[in-house]
Chains A and B, each alone.
Chain A
Amino acid sequence: MQLDRTIAPPAVGIEGVQYTSPKQYKLLNGLPIWYLNMGSQEVIKAEFVFHAGSAHHACPLVPSFTSAMMQEGTIKHSASEIADAIDNYGAFLELDHDKDFASITLYTLKRYYAETLPVILEIIEEANLPENEWKILISNRLQKYRINLGKVSFVAGKAFQELVFKGTPYGAPFEEQDYHNVQLNDLLAFRGAHYRLEKSFVMLSGLVDEEVLTSTNQVLGDFPISTPQFFGSTPDAHPVAKQDRIHFIEKTDAIQSAIRIGRRMFDRRHPDYFGVKVLTTVLGGYFGSRLMSNIREDKGYTYGIGAGIVAYENDGWFYISTEVGTDVTSDALIEIYKEVALLRDELIAEDELNLVKNYMLGTLLKSFDGPFERIERFKALHLYHLSDDYYDRYTAAIREVSAIELRDLARKWLQEESLIELVVGKK
C-alpha cells in the first residue's frame, strides 16, 4: 500500500504527570533533609538552599558577591585548597543565586560523596571571605560589568527589572559606583545572617541509598545546630512607584536594538497564574508562538523573540523580549502591540489553543524526566509555598481554560497603557 505522507500518524493525548514527594529524613542533630532515590547513574546531587537572594539586601550586589565569595576560603583552608578538594574527586561545586534564594550545590560520583560532602559543610559554616580574594573578585566583577554594558540585552534586562519593580526589593538598582561602595564588611554581615546549616533547605537526589544517608548523617548530622529555620524573612509585597510608560536608552553604535515590554504581575499562588501562563505561551512562549511566527518567521526582523511570566516568592512579572535590527525597531514595536491587541480583541482559535495546551503538557512531562528534574519540581513547591497537588491543578487548569477566559485575562492584564516599554539602541 502506498504510504500517504500528507496524513499525520494517529497520536494520543498526554497524560498528566505523577508527582511523588521526596522522602523526609531527620538527621541526628534534628535537621530535616529531603531525598529522592532514583535513576540509573551512580551520581549524587546535594543542594543547600538559603534565603539569601539579591532581594534580601538594599544593594543587590551584596548577596551576589557573598554567594560568589563562599568558595573563596574558610577558616581552615584557602580558596585553592577548597577548589582542589572538590576537583580532585572530579566533583562540581555550583554557587548560584536569584532574587529570593542562593544555593550551594555539589554534584559528585556516588563513590566520592563521603569525601566531598564535608567540603560543603565547611564552606557553609566556616567560609571567612578573605580580604585578598575579595580584592581579586571585586576587580574581576567590575570588569565583567563593564563588558556587559556593551551588550544591549544586558543593559535592557537590568534597566527593565528596575523599572518594573521600582521601589521594591526586586527592583533595587545598582550602578558602577556601587562596585566601589560595597565593603567586605557588608558581605561578612550578610554571610553571617544568612548562611548557616540550620538555615538551609537540603535536598539530595540521584542514587540516594542507605549508604548515602549514613554518610550524610555522619557529616551533617554530627554538626551541632540550633532550631532549623529555613524560612525567615521574605521580601514583602511593596507598592511599585509610579512612572512613565515609554523609556529609551540610546546607544549610538548599536546595530540591534533590545526591546522589553511588560509589567508587574503576581506570584504562583494568584488565581490568574495558570491562565496567564497559557496566554503568554500563546503570545511568545514557544517556537510557533504568535510573536515568533510574525516577527521572526514572517518578517525576519529578529533571530528570536519571546514572552512569558516570571514568578518570584512574593511577586512576579510579564515580559516580551527581543533584539531586532535598528532599522526595523519601530516596525517591530508596531507588530508586537498588534499581537497583544489581538489577544484582547479576538478569541484564540480552537486548533491553536489545543496545540498550545498539548505543547505545555509535553513540556511539563519533560520537566519530570530524571531525578534532577524531579527534585527541581519539589523544590519549586517548597520554596514558593505551594501544595502537593500543584502539578495536578496546573494540568487541570491547562486542559480546562477556555478561549473566552483567556481573552478576558488579556483584557484584565494586558491593556496597552499598563505595559512599560523600554528600547535600548536606536529608534
Chain B
Amino acid sequence: MISFERFTLSNGLKVIVHEDASTPLACINVLYDVGARDEHPDQTGFAHLFEHLMFGGSINIPNYDTPLQEVGGENNAFTNNDITNYYLSLPAENLETGFWLESDRMLCLAFSEKSLEVQRNVVIEEFKQRYLNQPYGDEWLLLRPLAYKVHPYQWATIGKEISHISDAKMEDVRSFFNRFYTPSNAILVVAGNVNTTHVMQLAEKWFAPIPSASKPLRNLPIEPQQNEARFLSVQRDVPSDAIHKAFHMVSRNSPRYYAQDLLSDMLGRGTSSQLYTSLVKGSELFTEINAFVTGSYDAGLFVVSGKLKDGVSCEQADEAIRQELAKVVNAGIPETELAKVKNKAESTHVFGEMGVLNKAMNLAFAELMGDAGLVNTEIERIRAVTAEDVHNEARILFREENCSTLYYRKNS
C-alpha cells in the first residue's frame, strides 16, 4: 500500500506526494507524456535524442548535473515508445535543489548548439553500441515494422535509422520542446522523507510560475487487425539461429491486460514455465526461450522468442512453439499453474515497492494511465483473473493470422 496526496497546479501540472519517513532520501520523478510514438515518421529517435538534450543546460542553469552532485544527488532518465521519464534522488534535506533544477528545465532549455552537436554523436554511438555492434542487436528493429504497419510502434525508441538523428536541427528541438514539455503534459511525483505541505509550497514556488500551455492532442492511427500470417527471414553473423513470434494483444490499460500478462508468465517466465520445461529441458530444441508482453499504452505485442540448439531448423522450432501454444488453447489452464503465476506477480509487485524511487515511478505511471491509486489495487485485479479468462485470451491471441514471425538465421 502506497499512501499519497495529489493536487494540480494552476498551470495544469499534476503533483503527487508520497511520504516515507523510513528513508533519509527524497526522490523527484518527472514524467512527460511523450515518447517515440509521438514522432514524425521521418524524424524518428527524436524523443530519445531530446532526453539527452535535457541535460545540456536550461535557461537559468548552465549545467544540470553539477549542482545536483554538489548536494549529494544522482539522476537519470529513460525514453520508451510511450513516455519520457526523468528521476533524481538526493538527501531529503536538499530537496529544494531538485525543485530548482527540474522546474528550470521545464520552464525553458538553453538550446545550446554545442549540446545538440555532441548529443547527436553520443546517441549515434548509443545506436551502434546497443543495436548494431551486438549479436542479435537489430531484432527489434526488424520485428516492429513487421508487426505494426500503421501505428508508430513500428519504430524503436532509438529511431529507424542513424540519419534521422544526424539530421536533427535546432528548430526541430525548439518546436518539440514547446509542444510537449509543458506543465499540463507532465506528472511530478515527490517521494521519500518529505512533508506534503512543504512539497506543496515548493511546487507553488518553483513550478507554478511556469506558463501554462494546452496539453498536446494525440491522434495516432489505430493498428488494423492483422488478417494474414507474416514472415521475415534474415541472415546475420551470429553463432546460432533465433526465432521470434509476435502476436497482437491489448493495451496496458485494458481490463483484459492481466489475463494476457499472466498467460505470458505461465508460458515463459522462469525455469518452471511451460515453454522452458518442454522445449529447453524436454525436447532440447531450444537453448533459451521466453514469453513476455510489451505492456505498451496502445495495443501491444505478446512475444515468444528463443534461441535454437545447433542442428535445429527455424521451421522445426516454429512448429514446436505452435504445438505448445495449441496445447494451451486445446487443454485450457490448470488452476495450479494460474495460482503459481499469480503468486509470482504478487511478490514481484511487493518487491517492486521496496525502494522509494520505484514507488515514485509506479505512482507516475499509474497516474498517466488515469489514476495513481491503481498501484494499490493491482494485486486485487491480478487475483480476480480466472483460468477461463486466461484460456479465452489464449484462443484470441494464438492464431497464425495474428502473428508476425521472424527467423533470425546464422550465416551458413
Interface assignment of A108: CB less than 8 Å from any CB of chain B: yes
Interface assignment of B307: CB less than 8 Å from any CB of chain A: yes
Q: Is the CB of B91 within 8 A of A6?
A: no
Q: Is the CB of B120 within 8 A of A90?
A: no
Tell me which residues across on chain B come within 8 A of A359, comparing CB atoms: 69-70, 72, 74
Which one of A136, A301, A369 has the highest number of Cβ atoms from chain B below 10 Å of its Cβ? A369
Cα separation A108 to B117 with both chains bound (whole Å)? 48
Interface assignment of A83: CB less than 8 Å from any CB of chain B: yes
Looking across the interface, which residue of chain A has its beta carbon closest to that of B72?
A: A362
Cα separation A359 to B66 with both chains bound (whole Å)? 10
Question: Given contacts A150-B237, A151-B134, A300-B122, could you give 7 more A-B pairs where the C-beta distance is less than 8 Å?
Answer: A5-B60, A6-B60, A12-B91, A90-B348, A143-B310, A303-B123, A362-B74
A-B contact count (CB 8 A): 208
Interface assignment of A299: CB less than 8 Å from any CB of chain B: yes
Interface assignment of B267: CB less than 8 Å from any CB of chain A: no
Q: Is the CB of B93 within 8 A of A12?
A: yes
Tell me which residues across on chain B come within 8 A of A92, comparing CB atoms: 347, 351
> A residues near B, CB below 8 A?
3, 5-6, 8-12, 14, 39-43, 71, 79-80, 83-84, 86-92, 107-109, 112, 133, 136, 139-140, 143-144, 146-147, 149-152, 253-256, 286-288, 296-303, 323-325, 354-356, 358-359, 361-363, 365-366, 368-370, 372
Q: Is the CB of A11 within 8 A of B350?
A: no
- Asked if A80 meets B277 with Cβ closer than 8 Å, knowing A108-B347, A323-B133, the reply is yes
Contact with B119, one of A80, A140, A300 (Cβ below 8 angstroms): A300
Q: Is the CB of A287 within 8 A of B271?
A: no
Cα separation A10 to B73 with both chains bound (whole Å)? 14
6 contacts between A and B (CB under 8 A): A88-B339, A136-B280, A139-B309, A253-B237, A256-B129, A359-B70
Tell me which residues across on chain A come within 8 A of B287, comparing CB atoms: 139-140, 143-144
Tell me which residues across on chain B come within 8 A of A362, comparing CB atoms: 69, 71-74, 90-91
Interface assignment of B330: CB less than 8 Å from any CB of chain A: no
Q: Is the CB of B72 within 8 A of A14?
A: yes
Contact with A89, one of B94, B205, B239, B343 (Cβ below 8 angstroms): B343
- Asked if A147 meets B343 with Cβ closer than 8 Å, knowing A8-B67, A9-B97, A303-B126, the reply is no
Q: How far is the CB of B21 from chain A (nearest CB, A)?
A: 10
Query: Which B282-312 residues have C-beta < 8 A from chain A?
Result: 284, 287-288, 307, 309-310
Interface assignment of B240: CB less than 8 Å from any CB of chain A: yes
Contact with B272, one of A84, A355, A358 (Cβ below 8 angstroms): A84
Q: How far is the CB of A96 from chain B (nearest CB, A)?
A: 15
Looking across the interface, which residue of chain A has its beta carbon closest to that of B240?
A: A143
Looking across the interface, which residue of chain B has its beta carbon closest to that of A9?
A: B96
Q: How far is the CB of B91 from chain A (nearest CB, A)?
A: 5
Q: How far is the CB of B207 from chain A (nearest CB, A)?
A: 11
Q: How large is the interface on B (under 10, 10 to 19, 20 to 34, 35 or more residues)?
A: 35 or more
Looking across the interface, which residue of chain B has its beta carbon closest to that of A372?
A: B354
> B residues near A, CB below 8 A?
22-25, 59-61, 63, 65-67, 69-75, 89-91, 93-94, 96-97, 99-100, 103-104, 107, 117-123, 125-126, 128-130, 132-136, 205-206, 209, 237-240, 270-272, 277, 280-281, 284, 287-288, 307, 309-310, 336, 339-340, 342-348, 350-351, 353-356
Q: Is the CB of A286 within 8 A of B69?
A: yes
Q: How far is the CB of A217 from chain B (nearest CB, A)?
A: 24
Contact with A150, one of B100, B238, B355 (Cβ below 8 angstroms): B238
Tell me which residues across on chain A come within 8 A of B288, comparing CB atoms: 140
Cα separation A37 to B117 with both chains bound (whole Å)? 51
Q: Is the CB of B118 within 8 A of A150?
A: no
Give the dominant DSSP class at A's interface.
mixed
Cα separation A89 to B346 with both chains bound (whole Å)? 10
Tell me which residues across on chain A come within 8 A of B237, comparing CB atoms: 150, 253
Tell me which residues across on chain B come within 8 A of A79, comparing CB atoms: 271, 281
Looking across the interface, which residue of chain B has its beta carbon closest to that of A110?
A: B350
Q: How far is the CB of A102 from chain B (nearest CB, A)?
A: 18
Which one of B93, B133, B280, B351 has the highest number of Cβ atoms from chain A below 10 Å of its Cβ? B133
Q: Is the CB of A298 within 8 A of B354?
A: no
- Asked if A288 meets B69 with Cβ closer than 8 Å, knowing A11-B94, A150-B239, the reply is yes
Cα separation A136 to B288 with both chains bound (whole Å)? 11
Contact with A107, one of B342, B347, B356 (Cβ below 8 angstroms): B347
Contact with B107, one of A5, A83, A303 (Cβ below 8 angstroms): A5
Q: How far is the CB of A89 from chain B (nearest CB, A)?
A: 6
Cα separation A300 to B123 with both chains bound (whole Å)? 9
Cα separation A71 to B350 with both chains bound (whole Å)? 24
Q: How far is the CB of A106 from chain B (nearest CB, A)?
A: 11
- Asked if A358 meets B125 with Cβ closer than 8 Å, knowing A43-B351, A83-B271, A90-B347, the reply is no
Cα separation A112 to B347 with both chains bound (whole Å)? 10
Top 10 A-B pairs, shortest CB-CB distance: A362-B72, A300-B121, A90-B343, A146-B239, A83-B272, A150-B135, A9-B96, A90-B347, A5-B60, A303-B126
Q: How far is the CB of A281 from chain B (nearest CB, A)?
A: 10
Tell me which residues across on chain B come within 8 A of A14, comparing CB atoms: 72, 91
Q: Is the CB of A369 within 8 A of B356?
A: yes
Looking across the interface, which residue of chain A has its beta carbon closest to that of B282?
A: A80
- Asked if A287 meets B125 with Cβ closer than 8 Å, knowing A80-B272, A354-B70, the reply is no
Q: How far is the CB of A379 from chain B (nearest CB, A)?
A: 17
Tell me which residues across on chain A come within 8 A of B67, comparing CB atoms: 8
- Asked if A90 meets B281 with Cβ closer than 8 Å, knowing A3-B205, A3-B209, the reply is no
Looking across the interface, which residue of chain A has its beta carbon closest to that of B265?
A: A87
Contact with B351, one of A107, A298, A299 (Cβ below 8 angstroms): A107
Q: Is the CB of B340 within 8 A of A87?
A: yes
Looking across the interface, which residue of chain B has its beta carbon closest to that of A373?
A: B355
Q: Is the CB of B205 within 8 A of A358?
A: no
Q: Is the CB of B128 within 8 A of A325?
A: yes
Cα separation A134 to B239 with both chains bound (whole Å)? 21
Looking across the interface, which residue of chain A has its beta carbon closest to that of B123?
A: A303
Tell me which residues across on chain A come within 8 A of B351, comparing CB atoms: 41, 43, 92, 107
Tell me which residues across on chain A come within 8 A of B346, comparing CB atoms: 90, 109
Contact with A255, one of B117, B119, B132 (Cβ below 8 angstroms): B132
Contact with B345, one of A90, A151, A361 (Cβ below 8 angstroms): A90
